[in-house]
Structure 1
Amino acid sequence: MSTGIISCVVVDDDQVSLHVVEKLIAQTPSLKLESSFTNPIEATHYLREHPVDVIFLDIEMPQLNGFEMISLLDYTPAIIIMTAKKEYALQAFDYEVHDFLMKPITDYSRFLKAVNGLHKIDQRTGDSDPWNFFVKSDSLLHNILIDDILFIEAFGDYVKIHTVQKVLMVLSTLKAIESKVPPDRFVRVHRSYIINVKRIENIDPNNLQIGNKVIPVSPNFRENLLKKINLL
C-alpha cells in the first residue's frame, strides 16, 4: 500500500450487495478493484495466486462463511467485514479485522472512513522491510523470521519453506509467498524455487548451493539472480 493505491477484492454471495460495494470502490480513487466473487471458495483459490491489500468480506455465505475463509488464507490482508447482523461484530474482531460495515451499505462517508483507516495503517508501518510473517502448517500458526528462510520450494499444491531450524509444509503457492518476502533479498531462480540471496554459498552455470541443497537455476532467471548478488 506504500504507493497509495490499495488493491482489493469483494466477496459476497448477494449480487445486489456486491454491486453496491463495487460502485463505492469505483468512486474511491485510492482503491483498485482486482476482482469480485459470489463464491468464497473461488475467492480463496484466487487470493492464493493473487494477494491483495484488503478484502471486503461478507459473513453468511454458502459452502464457506467469511470467518472460515479468513482462516484458510495463508497471508493476512486487511479485512473489512460486511454484514447485516451486529452480533458478528465481537467475533469479527477476534479475527483482527480492520473494520465492520453494517448492511445495507448506503453511507459513502462511513465506507470512506474505513478506507481512510487503511491509509493510516500504511503510514504507521512505513516502507520498511517486513521481518516476519505467519503461515499455517499442521493446524498451527508458525512465526517465520525472514532472515531465517533459506529457500522456498514448490511441492504440488503446497510449498515447503526451508528455514535454519525446520521445514514447514504450507498450503499455498510460490507466488503468494513471494509477495510476503522482500524482493531485494529473495529471488526466484526456477519455477519451483525462491531463494534467500544472503544464504547462497556458491553458484555455477546451472545451479547454486545453500547448505547441503543444490538448487537448479533456470536460464530465464539467471540474469535477475546475478543482478541481486554483490558481485566484485
Structure 2
Amino acid sequence: MLKCMIVDDEPLSIKLLENHISKISFLELANTFSNPMEALMSLKTNPVDLIFLDIQMPQLNGIQFMQLLQNQALVIIISAYQEYAIEGFEHNVVDYLLKPVAFERFYKSVEKAYNIKDYTKKIERPYDTYPSTGGYIFIKVETKMVRVELDDILFIEGLKNYVSIYTKTQRIITLQVMKQLEEVLPPNRFVRVHKSFIVALNKITSIERQEILIKERIIPIGATYAEHFNQMLPGGKVK
C-alpha cells in the first residue's frame, strides 16, 4: 500500500486525481493541499510514500517544494507545462504527467512508484545478509534489457536525464534514474557518495581529500554523503 498526498492549487485537477486514486487498490489518499507550505508542514507529522505534485503554484513551485522535501517521499509531477520535464527528472521524480491525466497513463505511473517502493522494502535488511560477490541486474538500453554483472560495475554517474554505468569493459547508458539504481544495488557493496555518483566499494583504489580514485577516474565525495560513506568504508574514516 502506498500512502499518498496531492499538492495542487487547481480544484478540478485534485478532483480528477482523487477519482483515479479511488480506483487503485494499492493507493491510499492521506490528504490534499492547495497550499504547498501547508503540505510541507503536514509531512513533518504525517509522512507519506508518494506525492502528486503540481509544478506551477503560488508561494512555492514544484521544484522548490522538492528541494525542501529532500527525498522524504516519491514524487510524480502533474503539470500542464511540458517544458519543466527535464528539470523534474533531475530531481529523481518517478514520472512527469501532463494535465489532464488519463487513467491509463496514471496507472502506469503509480505502478512504477509501487515497484520502486517495493525495492526499498526488499533492501531494508542487515547488510551482512547480502552476498559479497556475484549477482546481476537488468538495465534497459533503448529497446532491450541488458544484463549487467554486479562484480563488473566500477561506478555509476548520473547526468541530467540519464545514467551511465561504468563497468570493467564498457559504459552503459540508460534513462533509469539514480534513485532507482541506488535502491536495487546491494547496499553492502555500492554506496552513493555524491548526488551524481554511486561507487563499488571494492573497486576503490584510494581516497584523498574527499576524492575517490577508481582506475583513472576521480570521483568527489559530497558533504551530505560523507558520513554514510565513512560508516561503510572498511578500516577507517576519510579525513
TM-score normalised over the length of structure 2: 0.53
Deviation at 1:15, TM superposition (A): 1.0
2:13 alignment partner in structure 1: 17
2:95 alignment partner in structure 1: 99
1: CA distance, partners of 2:45 / 2:228: 22
> 1:44-123 residue pairs with structure 2 within 5 A?
44-105=40-101, 107-123=102-118
Q: Encode CA deviations 1:162-181: one digit per residue, 9 max, x unaligned.
A: xx98xxxxxxxxxxxxxxxx
Quickly say closer, same or farther: Cα 1:123–1:74, change in 2 above 3 A. Answer: closer
1:142 alignment partner in structure 2: 224
2: CA distance, partners of 1:123 / 1:44: 24
Give SS of 2:224's match. strand
Deviation at 1:120, TM superposition (A): 2.2
Q: Encode CA deviations 1:149-191: one digit per residue, 9 max, x unaligned.
A: xxxxxxxxxxxxxxx98xxxxxxxxxxxxxxxxxxxxxxxxxx
2: CA distance, partners of 1:104 / 1:43: 22
Where do 5+ consecutive residues of structure 1 fail to align?
Answer: 135-139, 149-163, 166-232
> 1:20-39 residue pairs with structure 2 within 5 A?
20-39=16-35
Deviation at 1:85, TM superposition (A): 0.9
Deviation at 1:126, TM superposition (A): 4.2
Quick check: 1:41 aligned with 2:37? yes
2: CA distance, partners of 1:45 / 1:146: 30
Q: Encode CA deviations 1:85-112: one digit per residue, 9 max, x unaligned.
A: 110111111111100110012x111100
Quickly say closer, same or farther: Cα 1:133–1:8, change in 2 above 3 A. Answer: farther
Deviation at 1:27, TM superposition (A): 1.1
Equivalenced residues, count: 143
Where do 5+ consecutive residues of structure 2 fail to align?
Answer: 126-186, 194-221
> 1:152-231 residue pairs with structure 2 within 5 A?
none
Deviation at 1:52, TM superposition (A): 1.1
Which of 123, 126, 129 in structure 2 is aligned with 1:128? 123
Contact kept in structure 2, 1:58 and 1:82, CA below 8 Å = yes
Give SS of 1:62's match. coil
Give the letter aligned to residue 57 of structure 1: L
Deviation at 1:16, TM superposition (A): 1.1
State, as a whole percentage, how many aligned pairs show the same letter.
Answer: 35
2: CA distance, partners of 1:21 / 1:127: 29
Aligned-residue RMSD, C-alpha? 3.0
Q: Encode CA deviations 1:48-107: one digit per residue, 9 max, x unaligned.
A: 2222111000010000001101101144311100001110111111111100110012x1
Quickly say closer, same or farther: Cα 1:119–1:48, change in 2 above 3 A. Answer: same
